[in-house]
Structure 1
Amino acid sequence: MAISLQKGQKVDLTKTNPGLTKVLVGLGWDTNKYDGGADFDLDAAVFMLGENGKVTSEKDFIFYNNLKDAAQSVIHLGDNLTGEGDGDDEQVKIDLSKVPANVAKIAFTVTIHQATERSQNFGQVSNAFIRIVNEGSNEELIRYDLGEDFSIETAVVIGELYRNNSEWKFNAIGSGFQGGLSALCGNFGINM
């Protein structure tokens, strides 16, 4: 049974699941009904971070235009342009055994594409979640439902996997940003 987290909670991933190396990270969301007229296009992105909380190169930024890192430890399974349907809207496969040693954290984010132009923000998004699934057994191990804490934000750091000695843990972050993808990239050391 999955561990359900609240904002700020941290939980062990690999210590309680010995031998776990391949996980699927699912991200999902719904959009509220509103009269803006434009479709919502939310995008999941992953930042592979060093101890300093920054990427070592732009190749450590995994998103719809760069679907995998050089080690092929993090693979984005593609952009969902509409968010239609139930379940995961976008997915990322991670092979923890292949993550380069200089990567201390793997941050999972969601941004709203063209949020400013379309007058959209996370106040118009509901039922957002992240879940971590054992790829081998398809068992959901961890789930974090974000709740409705956002208003004007256009980007959210949902959570992160991080190394703790030889184990991996998950931190439910749920931190919003204004400024969309460029604000996130700046935060993680990428100049856009």
Structure 2
Amino acid sequence: MSSISLSKGQRIDLTKTNPGLTKVIIGLGWDTNKYSGGQDFDLDACAFMCNADNKVENDNEFIFYNNLKSPNGAVEHTGDNRTGEGEGDDERMNVDFSLLPSYVEKVGITVTIHDAEARAQNFGQVSNAFVRVIDASNNREILRYDLGEDFSIETAVVVCELYKHAGEWKFNAIGSGFQGGLAALCRNYGLDV
């Protein structure tokens, strides 16, 4: 079975069409356009574990480079990649649907540019961004979403959301940009900055 390629706004079923799927790897990748500013880019993937109101209930269910694992290990960031060099995934998140607390109805997956304002950087200088969902049990890529080049001044992007519907988990290809970096995303998901 080959991987399904999604475009912005598409939703696709994960657990229903893949019976027994409990653990997935969310792989994120990007390339940065070198430019005269000379500063390195450091892009960071984050996950927001949200309730039905799209809010994170506990600060420790916001997963990022300073909090790599949710309390029971349902969502785990495998580590910061500071360069984005090379092929394949730049950062990865592991998600275990069976461990997610019952009130978590959505996991928002985002990417931000670290220190974007100070370095005068934005997603207009990032290309080939993608997310893919991999079945952790056999390493098979289930789907892939290429974000395209729709960004200019944004410093944060909600890449996708995994969400629960009628007891099954689905994937929503979002690709929406924010100005204001990580702080804007935190406010979006109900966290105090």
Query: 2:43 corresponds to which residue?
Result: 42
Distance 1:16 1:110 in 2: 27
Query: 2:121 corresponds to which residue?
Result: 120
Residue 10 of structure 1 and its aligned partner are, at CA, apart by 0.2
1:117 counterpart SS class: helix
Give the counterpart letter for 2:192 in structure 1: N
Give the counterpart letter for 1:185 in structure 2: C
TM-score normalised per structure 1? 0.99
For the pair 1:31 / 2:35, whether they are aligned, the reply is: no
For the pair 1:185 / 2:186, whether they are aligned, the reply is: yes
Identity across aligned pairs (percent)?
64
Q: Where in structure 1 are there 5+ consecutive unaligned residues?
A: none
TM-score normalised per structure 2? 0.98
Distance 2:18 2:58 in 1: 31
Query: 2:131 corresponds to which residue?
Result: 130
Residue 84 of structure 1 and its aligned partner are, at CA, apart by 1.1
Query: 1:163 corresponds to which residue?
Result: 164
Query: 1:152 corresponds to which residue?
Result: 153
RMSD: 0.6
Query: 1:76 corresponds to which residue?
Result: 77
Residue 124 of structure 1 and its aligned partner are, at CA, apart by 0.1
Q: Deviations over 1:104-129 (max 9, x none)?
A: 00000000000000000000000000
1:85 counterpart SS class: coil
Residue 33 of structure 1 and its aligned partner are, at CA, apart by 2.4
Give the counterpart letter for 1:168 in structure 2: W
For the pair 1:110 / 2:118, whether they are aligned, the reply is: no
Distance 1:53 1:23 in 2: 21
How many aligned positions are there?
192
Residue 83 of structure 1 and its aligned partner are, at CA, apart by 0.9
Q: Deviations over 1:6-61 (max 9, x none)?
A: 00000000111000001100000000121111000000000000000110011110
Distance 1:153 1:68 in 2: 27
1:46 counterpart SS class: strand
2:112 counterpart SS class: strand
Distance 2:46 2:95 in 1: 13
Distance 1:182 1:83 in 2: 22
Residue 85 of structure 1 and its aligned partner are, at CA, apart by 1.0
Distance 2:3 2:50 in 1: 26
